[in-house]
Chain A
Amino acid sequence: MIAVLVMAGTLCHLAGSGAMIQSRPPETTALDIPGPVPTERPQGPRCIRQRILASVLLLAGCEGPQSALVPAGVDAQALHLLFTTMLGGAIVLWLLMNGFIYWFSHRHPAAFSEIAARWLIVLGGVVTPAIMVGALLVWGLTLLPDQRIAGNGLRIRVHGEQWWWRVAYQPPGTSGPIISANEIRLPAGRRTEFILTSDRVIHSFWIPALGGKMDMFPGRETRMSLQPETPGRYRGQCAEFCGASHAWMAFEAVVMPPEEFDAWLKAEAKDARPPQQDSARKGQQIFRREGCGACHTLRGTEAVAQVGPDLTHIGNRHSIGAGRLGATLDDIALWVRHTGDLKPEVHMPAFPHLEPAELRDLASYLKGLK
């Protein structure tokens, strides 16, 4: 925020200088300016308005589905409280220090007694910082175990790939896991455990609105748990640089009321729905003809490969390409045709030879997989 305010101030300043240059007598040119143009700090309501506008614009950036500043769960709330306390403390400290500077340089510039100066150094420079840093350390350390407390039964295994997420739901009392990808749904008000692993490189699993992040390592399991409270759609993002498309390795996190979640999970466990319309049936043939099943699974069909994301219920997801695009028919067609352009170095090949009508049919088939 400070940076934007400074920028706004600079813009005001430049605007002010521009006005001054224009007000110079017409016979002088830029070349024969003898010295620096007398500058004056621009003032007036315009600059104040610009600064307020800049602040409002910047504060608007604190909103949105991927903001740790708008917590939607117990874990994010704990971190938010720590953050706001530290921010408040930093502001108080900043005001105090600048107040001291102002007080001792302008209001009370007399010499400071040596004893008082020494006490100021000992108390302000050693005792207070040591106690404050110690208190923050204790607070932070007591928060750490909370990130891994046991859940209410549901476990989700997330495996980081370049650059997408394998997701396997393991509800209590079921035999096999329910496989999905690139979207994570969670019941509100319940604590869900995550078991995190990775394929080839280190990733980091982070849903800022719901809690802290946790690294995912190849060949090692890490764990965390989250208790979301507010139903809604949030955005998760890989938070550890993992290659060319790291920035495009995202996912939707959907928090649902518990009953809705249970119903959804039951549906998610079912096989893929056969195509209902003509265009979708044509799309299914294209899916087979182009060999999509060599990488993707559609449970209940002959497509059982596990190279790429499971597409059994892709029609229910809110995004495709691991948060790269929305999930409209156009988005799916665009993704299939321009995969590598949308996600550099992705393993999935693009299918530029497909006709627009074929792409639409394929998209219609996939969108129908609910």
Chain B
Amino acid sequence: MTNQEHEPLPDEERREFSAETGSLWRLTLTPLTWAMHLVLCYATISLACARQLFPVEVARLGLIGASVLALGFICWQGWRAVRQWNVLTTGVLTHPNGKAEDRHRFLGHAATLIAVISAIGTVYTTLPLLLLEGCR
């Protein structure tokens, strides 16, 4: 980064974007949790039912526990995203300007919506665990 002073504008943008690293992670983490939860559920139940590696009831209870953890994590990240969006204190929903603050709050807005979808998806994946017992 020796050329920082020679090209101030691109570097400024880069710094502003890198300040949002946490927001981008938050945006990604909730759908990733949902996806991993789905794969974990399918894989564990398959291994219990098709390969009989462990009892299906143990798998089911373990996965219900994992679902609670996954949902808790998504809710926690979702709550942090709401706070980043800052809509509850300002009442401002949209971020039409391209300033750093707008960008920061927009990412919070997007992360909130993605967290909501991820939570719904995780709940849907968990429902068969709660309602169906055994392998059939």
Do residues B132 and A134 form an inter-chain contact, with CB atoms below 8 A? no
* B39 contacts across to A, CB distance below 8 A: none
**Which of B52-60, B103-111, B122-130 is the interface stretch?**
B122-130
A145 to B116 alpha-carbon distance, docked (Å): 30
Q: How many residues of B contact A (CB 8 A)?
A: 11
Judged by a CB distance under 8 angstroms, whether A118 is at the interface is yes
Judged by a CB distance under 8 angstroms, whether A281 is at the interface is no
A130 to B116 alpha-carbon distance, docked (Å): 10
- Most chain B C-beta atoms within 10 Å of own C-beta, residue among A118, A138, A223: A138
Do residues A141 and B127 form an inter-chain contact, with CB atoms below 8 A? yes
Do residues A148 and B120 form an inter-chain contact, with CB atoms below 8 A? no
- Do most interface residues of chain B lie in helix, strand or loop, or is the interface mixed? helix
Residue in chain B with minimal CB distance to A223: B136
* B131 contacts across to A, CB distance below 8 A: 138, 141-142
The one of A118, A130, A134, A141 in contact with B128, judged by C-beta atoms closer than 8 angstroms, is: A141
Do residues B127 and A130 form an inter-chain contact, with CB atoms below 8 A? no
* B133 contacts across to A, CB distance below 8 A: 145
Do residues B120 and A145 form an inter-chain contact, with CB atoms below 8 A? no
- Asked whether A134 and B136 contact (CB < 8 A) given A126-B116, A141-B128, A142-B131, the answer is no
Judged by a CB distance under 8 angstroms, whether B93 is at the interface is yes
* B127 contacts across to A, CB distance below 8 A: 134, 137-138, 141
Residue in chain A with minimal CB distance to B133: A145
**CB of B82, distance to nearest CB on chain A (Å):** 14
Do residues A145 and B132 form an inter-chain contact, with CB atoms below 8 A? yes
**CB of A122, distance to nearest CB on chain B (Å):** 10
- Asked whether A134 and B124 contact (CB < 8 A) given A144-B132, A148-B136, A223-B136, the answer is yes
A92 to B124 alpha-carbon distance, docked (Å): 24
A130 to B123 alpha-carbon distance, docked (Å): 10
* A138 contacts across to B, CB distance below 8 A: 127, 131
Binary flags per residue of B21-50, CB closer than 8 Å to A gives 1, else 0: 000000000000000000000000000000
- Do most interface residues of chain A lie in helix, strand or loop, or is the interface mixed? helix
Residue in chain B with minimal CB distance to A220: B50
A130 to B133 alpha-carbon distance, docked (Å): 24
**CB of A223, distance to nearest CB on chain B (Å):** 7
Residue in chain A with minimal CB distance to B94: A114
A350 to B93 alpha-carbon distance, docked (Å): 76
The one of A126, A130, A133, A141 in contact with B132, judged by C-beta atoms closer than 8 angstroms, is: A141
**CB of A112, distance to nearest CB on chain B (Å):** 15
Do residues B120 and A130 form an inter-chain contact, with CB atoms below 8 A? yes
**CB of B25, distance to nearest CB on chain A (Å):** 24
Instruction: List residues 108-136 of chain A with CB under 8 A from any CB of chain B.
Output: 118, 126, 130, 133-134
Binary flags per residue of A202-213, CB closer than 8 Å to B gives 1, else 0: 000000000000
A137 to B131 alpha-carbon distance, docked (Å): 10
**CB of B43, distance to nearest CB on chain A (Å):** 20
* A137 contacts across to B, CB distance below 8 A: 124, 127
* A142 contacts across to B, CB distance below 8 A: 131
**CB of B134, distance to nearest CB on chain A (Å):** 9
Residue in chain B with minimal CB distance to A148: B136
* B123 contacts across to A, CB distance below 8 A: 134
* B128 contacts across to A, CB distance below 8 A: 141
**CB of B114, distance to nearest CB on chain A (Å):** 12
Q: A118-B93, A134-B124, A145-B132 are in contact. List 11 more A-B contacts (CB 8 A).
A: A130-B120, A134-B120, A137-B124, A137-B127, A141-B128, A142-B131, A144-B132, A145-B133, A145-B136, A148-B136, A223-B136
Residues of B within 8 A of A (CB): 93, 116, 120, 123-124, 127-128, 131-133, 136
23 contacts between A and B (CB under 8 A): A118-B93, A126-B116, A130-B120, A133-B124, A134-B120, A134-B123, A134-B124, A134-B127, A137-B124, A137-B127, A138-B127, A138-B131, A141-B127, A141-B128, A141-B131, A141-B132, A142-B131, A144-B132, A145-B132, A145-B133, A145-B136, A148-B136, A223-B136
Shortest 5 CB-CB contacts between residues of A and residues of B: A141-B131, A130-B120, A148-B136, A137-B127, A141-B128
